[in-house]
Amino acid sequence: MKQELKEIVEPIVRWYQKQEKILPWKQDKEPYHVWVSEIMLQQTRIEAVKKYYTRFMKTLPTIQDLANVSEEKLLKLWEGLGYYSRARNLKKAAIQIEENYKGKMPTSYAELLKLSGIGEYTAGAIASISYQEKVPAVDGNVLRVISRVLASKEDVLLPETKKEITKKLSEIMPEEAGDFNEGLMELGEKICIPNTIPLCEKCPIQPFCIANKENLTNEIPVRIKKQKRRIEEKTVFIVKNKDEIAIRKREKTGILANLYEFPNVIRRSSRGEDSRNFKKLEYTI
């Protein structure tokens, strides 16, 4: 069975336009707001992002404020969201915008892609939502919806699959590019949900979905995981002196770069062994 993908465009746009836009970053299509919210949402649930987004915008309401904020203050604002390189890249990109674009967000997909921390997905989201440029924004939700519509058994974790789906969507982008992209993402979040039975009876594109017709929704999307998570054993030292506690700054690069941690060694050690050598570890109180 073959499905013409373009048939889903109209129903998705109409469906999305009827949805309530209650999230703070959906109140307008201001590119700075779209950008920050999309970066926050990359690794974090919508519910959790709400309070971070509101506080971030209150503290740094403009791109200029973001470019000038100290790293300490920025990381404090980001505390709890994790993946701190996202925050650092936001600041780097804000400085690039100040220096190369006179403080105004670039208005095309190609220019947005040049900024730090902005990849194809984020560039597509900003360009389509804020400027109606006809480019797709393919995230995990979109991959799932399109794979199910087409009953594609390709592994959605592979870059080639993403590339292929991006290409297919590029060919059918409508004038209302932002509403179409946001509609696809929202459909994936609310209706064509992962890891359980999708709510097909409520889906505006059910008549065009092959996975639904052929009862394949529990098999699609296909995700073949290759790598196992690496588990690292550490011994962490809690060194107290009355009300003070020892901490140290992490390396400048890598995971949690430049953040503070309790002194530690990468191995499981006995109570005596490393503790006796503890003075060799650098730390401050």
Question: From the CB of 122, what's the least distance to ligand SF4, in Å?
Answer: 24
Q: Which is nearer to ligand SF4, 118 or 138 (CB)?
A: 138
The Cα 139–Cα 236 span in angstroms is 37
Q: Which is nearer to ligand SF4, 31 or 198 (CB)?
A: 198
Cα–Cα nearest to 221, from 144, 169, 106, 133:
144
Question: From the CB of 148, what's the least distance to ligand SF4, in Å?
Answer: 4
The partner residues of 244 in beta bridges, in order of sequence, read: 241
Question: From the CB of 167, what's the least distance to ligand SF4, in Å?
Answer: 19
Q: Which is nearer to ligand SF4, 112 or 146 (CB)?
A: 146
**Is 38 tagged catalytic?**
yes
Q: Which is nearer to ligand SF4, 69 or 187 (CB)?
A: 187
Residues that bind ligand SF4 (CB under 6 A): 145, 148-149, 191-192, 198, 200, 203, 205-206, 209, 211-212, 217
Question: From the CB of 16, what's the least distance to ligand SF4, in Å?
Answer: 14
- The residue annotated as part of the active site, out of 7, 20, 38, 71, is 38
Catalytic residues: 38
